[in-house]
Amino acid sequence: MDTYWMEFFGMLVRWLHVIAGIAWIGSSFYFIWLDRSLEPPEPGSEAARQGVGGHLWAVHGGGFYNPQKYTVAPGRLPERLHWFKWEAYTTWLSGTALLALVYWHRAGVMMIDANVAALTPWQAVAVGAGSMVVSWMVYDLFCRSPLGKHETVLGVIIFALLVVLGWGLARFLGGRAMFIHVGGCLGTIMAANVFCVIIPGQKRMVAAIRAGKVPDPLDGVRGKQRSVHNNYFTLPVVFTMFSNHYAATYSHAHSWAVLALIAGAGVALRHFFNLRHKGIYAWQYPGLGAVLLGLACWWTAPRIVPLPPVQGEVNFNRVREILGQHCVACHSPAPTFPGILVPPAGVLLHTPAEILRNSERIHLQTVVTRLMPLGNIRQMTDGERAVIAAWMKAGAKAE
């Protein structure tokens, strides 16, 4: 019963995380579109005299809208202002809770790969959690440095730091854990941008206006910079969130570089759309994105590692014995492996029928990608993998 409640709670946290993330990303996309689509008011018009820097007309859901943006701020503010912050906070809090439930709570299985580094669970968790804190500190330092005034240079440096982050985490954590923690680092930066820079700056601007003072335009500049950064982070973050379903990416020998290619494609595609909002169709950016994704596809394509010759007869019972020794502890209705509450991906291997039903998946995960057993924690040998490969080649029959 405890397993059931833990799994159900995890489902609710994941649902909350997805809902909040949609709201946050949706508002980010909308406001970037809005900002890039504004048109300046007519010189000498009432809007121009009131300090309006841009406005537009839009129609949606049967209604007409006329949003406008002030160059700095209006002369006075209404009592009620709509703030956009809880989407970010809820996304980060639920995402971190999910990270703790799925990865940190089961670090021995989900984060540690003995072929990468011999860590204890608490050391793996410390690496993951520490990377989230340090990544924000380094990013914020660069943004506040003189380099922060040069957006293009700063953008290149931030992306380079992202690549270094992936490379560094890949020295300590398994590929899947590395991917999700790079996403956690980006999510932390995004939420901290809102909590530490954007919202405090907006509060200072509101307080100044209501006190009859002129707000510091630097708060608006900094808030805009961090908001744009968050917009470019969104596609790489979304990819890392669902990357655990695609073993060919995170199980690659150079998984950090694969992640860099895919993240670069996401940034390029986001830049295309941000320019398009201004009426600029820079097709070289989706072209670049396609090239990067094509390279990732080619690089991660299955390449079977040569296996030793099979000794003895290859039959179903031999394959079943191998799976029983290395796989069934997790892939059964009631897993016995510590930290595994339900069979991963819903795959069951405890009966002959289930083994036959999942034969192609077994071959993919144990022979082609060699992802399973996860981190090879059960020490499956190349000879055992060769037996599975030979059985598959012979037709994967129950004989």
Three-state DSSP class for 386? helix
What is the b/e burial string over 253-263, where b = at least 16 CB atoms within 10 angstroms of the residue's CB? eebbbbbbbbb
Residue 389 identity: A
Confidence of residue 3 (pLDDT cuts 50, 70, 90): low
Domain boundary among 267, 300, 333: 300
SS3 at position 53: strand
Same domain, 337 and 284: no
Domain ranges, residue 212: 105-300
Quickly state the pLDDT bin for 18 (edges 50, 70, 90).
very high
Whether residue 187 is found in the same domain as residue 334: no
Q: Is the pLDDT of residue 317 over 60?
A: yes
- The residue among 354 and 73 whose pLDDT is bigger is 354
**pTM of the complete model:** 0.84
Tell me: the pLDDT tens digits for 200-257?
999 999 999 888 888 888 998 999 999 999 999 999 999 999 998 888 898 888 999 9
64 found inside a domain: no
Residue 378 has pLDDT above 60, yes or no: yes
Residue 389 lies in a domain: yes
pLDDT score of 264: 97
Rounded Cα–Cα distance for residues 148 and 208 (Å): 25
Note the pLDDT tens digit of each residue in 65-106: 999 998 877 878 888 888 999 999 999 999 999 999 989 988
Mean pLDDT of 155-175: 95
From CA 134, how far away is CA 141, in angstroms rounded?
Answer: 11
Look-up of token digits 């609710």? 12
How far apart are alpha carbons 235 and 375 in whole angstroms?
28
CA angle at 179 for the pair 380 and 295, rounded to the nearest 5°? 90
125, part of any domain? yes
Q: Which of 272, 300, 328 is the last residue of a domain?
A: 300
Residues 6+ apart with CB under 8 A from 230: 28, 190, 193, 194
Q: Tell me, yes or no, whether 279 and 340 share the same domain.
A: no
384 and 294: one domain? no
Stretch among 164-168, 182-186, 253-257 having the lowest mean pLDDT = 253-257
Burial call 328-343: b when 16+ CB within 10 Å, e when fewer: bbbbbeebebeebebb
Instruction: Report which DSSP code applies to 331.
Output: S
Peptide bond into 286 cis (omega under 30): no
- Residue 94: inside a domain: no
Residue 276 shares a structural domain with residue 343: no
The verdict on 238 and 126 lying in the same domain is yes
> Do 172 and 144 share a domain, yes or no?
yes
Lowest mean pLDDT among 119-128, 152-161, 229-238, 246-255: 246-255
The pairing of beta strand 52-55 with beta strand 68-70: antiparallel
- Residue 72 in any domain: the answer is no
- The pLDDT, as a whole number, for residue 1 is 46
Q: What angle do CA 93, 98, 101 make, to 5 degrees?
A: 125
Task: Establish if 308 belongs to a structural domain.
Answer: no
**Domain co-membership, 294 together with 323:** no
Q: Is residue 126 predicted with pLDDT exceeding 50?
A: yes
Predicted confidence band of residue 375 (pLDDT cuts 50, 70, 90): low
Cβ neighbours of residue 74 under 8 Å, at least 6 residues apart? Answer: 50, 51, 209
Instruction: Compare 213 and 158 and report the one with higher pLDDT.
Output: 158
Query: Kind of pairing, strands 68-70 and 63-65?
Result: unpaired
Domain end: 273, 300, 327, which one? 300
Do 232 and 363 belong together in one domain? no
Same domain, yes or no: 234 and 159: yes
Would 184 be classed as within a structural domain?
yes
Q: Is pLDDT at 339 greater than 70 in this prediction? A: no
Per the CB < 8 A criterion, the answer to whether 14 and 255 are in contact is: no
Helix, strand counts (H, E) of the chain: 16, 4
How far apart are the C-alpha atoms of 180 and 186, rounded to whole Å? 10
For the segment 284-289, the average pLDDT, to the nearest whole number, is 96
Please give the Cα distance from 44 to 47 (Å, whole number): 8
Q: Which residue has the higher pLDDT, 182 or 368?
A: 182
Same domain, 369 and 221: no
Higher pLDDT, 161 or 6: 161
For residue 56, is it within any domain? no
pLDDT in tens, 340-350: 777 877 788 88
On average, the pLDDT of the chain sits at 90
Strands (E), the chain: 52-55, 58-60, 63-65, 68-70
pLDDT score at 278: 87
Of 350 and 261, the structure prediction assigns the larger pLDDT to: 261
Mean pLDDT of 178-186: 97
| Total structural domains within the chain | 2
Please, what is the angle between helix 2-37 and helix 217-242, to 10°?
130
Residues 115 and 198 in one domain: yes
Non-local CB neighbours of 324 within 8 Å, separated by 6+ positions: none
CB 270 within 8 A of CB 232: yes
> Cβ neighbours of residue 114 under 8 Å, at least 6 residues apart?
375, 376, 377
* Identity of the amino acid at 122: W
DSSP conformation letters of 123-187 = HHHHHHHHHHHHHHHHHHHHHHSGGGG-HHHHHHHHHHHHHHHHHHHTTTS-HHHHHHHHHHHHH
Tell me the average pLDDT across 165-175. 95
Tokens 């909308």, located at residue: 30
